Structure 1
């Protein structure tokens, strides 16, 4: 199966760590790309290996979630022999992918201008907090900071509550996907034209770019987004969370037909003809009255009672699940969104699958690699490094602290 996966002919050297970078490349690995993690032995490899609460001796369930189907090579790129070995791998690879602070790729000499003499077709993709240029390029950037700086927190939460972060690291994850898309696009161009390039991707750009229509409204009409009651959509009514007799549901009437179906299912079809609610513009103008009527009606029954009624009527509706409930949803199983790997420490590890689909999904997954697990194998298979030469590299400190001969 692996040789038939869409990206089986790609080789990516991933100088990556923690969440955003590995999240981007795990989708490529799932699609068959050979993702070789270049891990720094001076710091115990990828910091994600040590992320609590489920971490022990360089293994963690956090690391497993971001690094399945990858391989690991330990190389000290500050060591001359480590750097020399890295450059040999660059010569036989398609891309060097990193997620480091914006000024670090230049210091580490892993930009296109630093490596093009080795491989003119190499693609160098940097995913950083703020990019490799600009006034903030030397600053460390994390998801929390970016959600605040890019305005996301200002529109999340209740109007009378504090600015609120998303419950998930959405800037990190979105940035990883943007980096993967950028890198794949650049590899395509390099194969077509014979010339590689830099991909300067940042979490900041990603977060600002995802402001989309809110930004357009503000830039052109001065609109200022604010937090809305029960996560209501800024312009569509009704499109928000509603309390039921026992929990919460989301109802979204993005089209007029859904509003008409909703009021019919609620037993109040006359609301559709009420001039206050008859059109999307009227409902927007009279949002408080419209939402209040709906809240009073929806509170009369439980979520379990409303869901079948509204679904049968063709109204866009969903329960507000907990994470355990979401993972137990039948549709999660139907879509194959939980995959398994086998691990000597953790046993059978269940984790969510990549949502990226191109043809038939991968039918078998490998656990995340141990630190340096594939160093000798990869150097032998790709570079022809024999046992004697490998021993010399080890003694010279290419894989960590120098050892005595």
Structure 2
């Protein structure tokens, strides 16, 4: 019988893939969380001498080295505590490498080589092992040995110069967009290398940096800046750099976002706000004309949109003009589309009780099935040593007594 015709539930596409993760805080755990949500087994290696992942202690909600911040990035993972300062601990790690498909880290760029986490070091234990590094500045270059975090990358890559009101100071995005984009980039690179390894039996290094990711996402801004005299500026009401109208507008009771990225959207928009004469006005007859005359057009539109509520305008625009409310987080989580897509999942936690978390955006059969809580520190140490590495109780006790594992 063809397995494809089976009625049994399918597993996620990464089922059977085992990834060792030497990572902490946000960007790295976010990368591997998405791999877990696609079916991979992720074994989180934590340092017992420092209390494990620093994310366990991030407020506002912390509970015995198990914060909600930590839970948001580590659902469905396993935790083993290994001290890399111990030769026996390193030996345990190498045995895990023999039985795994990839080693992921989000350490400082100079540390993977120093700690023996590169393909050059690990290939003798497993020629097919994929090693992926996600760092602030990458493994090469003059800043490779420096720590790097999301706000620093937003500053250095020019994002802050574009964010905020024109008369205000530079600002960062409200969420850690570079951390999470870097996580996606690293996950993509790791999966691409795994695909090759499954084909030819050889692993490789994958080197991803937060700064590289930030710069790569400048895309058309980069093209315009590098090849013309155009310069990006902070724009009022989160408006697009060149498309008009494409921005937030205040209504009688809130704010809405409008994006007229095509001429027919602009025409429908003008009709629906009862200003059809704007369509035939030569000053607004094209993308270029509206941009050149934006200081005239935007006040006209802004005054009109103030005359009705969010709901009234959005009901008119829905399905015709790209638009949406400027929601608070609580309003976003109540949005009918977000609910319909199943983006909020319920997880049972042994001490917090039922908690809600945000799922992976990748929807495919068998994905988003990791409903178990993030692990306590070293929760799976004994299980992995016993069941995966076939160690007996005497050997496990010796490793614990020697401090090789927590």
TM-score normalised by L of structure 2: 0.96
- The alignment partner of 2:282 has SS state of coil
Structure 2 equivalent of residue 324 of structure 1: 330
Match among 194, 197, 204 for residue 197 of structure 1? 204
Q: Is the 8 A contact 1:3 1:32 kept in 2?
A: no
Whether 1:377 and 2:383 are equivalent positions in the alignment is yes
Residue in 1 aligned with 2:271? 264
**Does the 8 A contact of 1:2 with 1:8 survive in 2?**
no
Please tell me whether residue 344 in structure 1 is matched to residue 350 in structure 2. yes
Within the candidate set 273, 294, 305, 1:287 is matched to 294
- Does structure 1 retain, via aligned residues, the 8 Å contact 2:11–2:366? no
User: 1:360 offset after TM fit, Å?
Assistant: 4.4
Paired residues, number: 399
Kept in 2, the 8 Å contact 1:153–1:164? The answer is: yes
- Secondary structure of the residue aligned to 1:56 is coil
In structure 1, the partner of 2:359 is 353
TM-superposed deviation, 1:358: 2.7
Q: Residue in 2 aligned with 1:399?
A: 405
Residue 116 (str. 1) matches residue 117 (str. 2): no
Per-residue CA deviations over 1:149-176 (Å, capped at 9, x if unaligned) read: 0000000000100000000000000001
Moved more, 279-288 or 9-18: 279-288
- Mapped to 2, the partners of 1:376 and 1:23 lie a distance apart of 25
**8 Å contact from structure 2 (residues 15, 38) kept in 1:** yes
Structural mapping, 1:210-229, within 5 Å: 210-229=217-236
Matches within 5 A, 1:229-240: 229-240=236-247
- Deviation at 1:364? 5.5
Contact 1:81 1:393 in 2 (8 A): yes
Cα pair 2:28 2:105 within 8 Å, conserved: yes
- Following TM superposition, by how much is the alpha carbon of 1:246 offset from its aligned partner in structure 2, in angstroms? 1.5
Within-5 A mapping of 1:32-43: 32-43=39-50
Alpha carbons 1:2, 1:362 under 8 Å: kept: no
Q: Which moved more, 1:217-226 or 1:133-142?
A: 217-226
Q: Does 1:10 align with 2:17?
A: yes
Confirm or deny that 1:388 pairs with 2:394.
Answer: yes
Q: Partner of 2:284: helix, strand, or coil?
A: coil
For normalisation by structure 1, the TM-score amounts to 0.97
Query: Residue 2 of structure 1 contacts residue 32 of structure 1 at CA under 8 Å; is this kept in 2?
Result: no
Per-residue deviation, 1:363:
4.4
What pairs up with 1:42-61 in 2 under 5 angstroms? 42-61=49-68
CA deviation string 1:116-150 (max 9, x = no partner): 11111111100000000001101110001010000
Displacement of 1:215 after TM fit? Answer: 0.3
Shift of 1:67: 0.4
C-alpha displacement at 1:234, in angstroms?
A: 0.7
Kindly state the Cα deviation for residue 267 of structure 1 after the two structures are TM-superposed: 1.0
Instruction: Report SS of the residue matched to 1:249.
Output: strand
Residue 182 of structure 2 corresponds to residue 175 of structure 1: yes
Distance in 2, Cα, partners of 1:395 & 1:13:
24
Cα drift, residue 2 of structure 1 = 8.4
Shift of 1:362: 3.4
| CA–CA distance in structure 2, aligned partners of residues 256 and 242 of structure 1 | 19
What runs of 5+ residues in structure 1 fail to find an aligned partner? 401-405
Between the aligned partners of 2:74 and 2:346, the Cα distance in structure 1 is 13
Offset at 1:222?
A: 2.9
Range with bigger deviation, 34-43 or 296-305: 296-305
| Counterpart Cα distance in 2 of 1:310 and 1:343 | 42
Return the alpha-carbon distance in structure 1 between the equivalents of residues 250 and 125 of structure 2: 61
Post-superposition offset of 1:56: 2.1
Query: Residue 10 and residue 197 in structure 1: after superposition, are their counterparts in 2 closer, same or farther (change >3 A)?
Result: same
Q: Does 357-366 or 121-130 show the bigger shift?
A: 357-366
- Cα distance change on mapping 1:272 and 1:257 into 2, 3 Å: same
- Where 1:242 maps in the other structure, the secondary structure is strand
Paired with 1:172 and 1:17, the residues of 2 have a C-alpha distance of 12
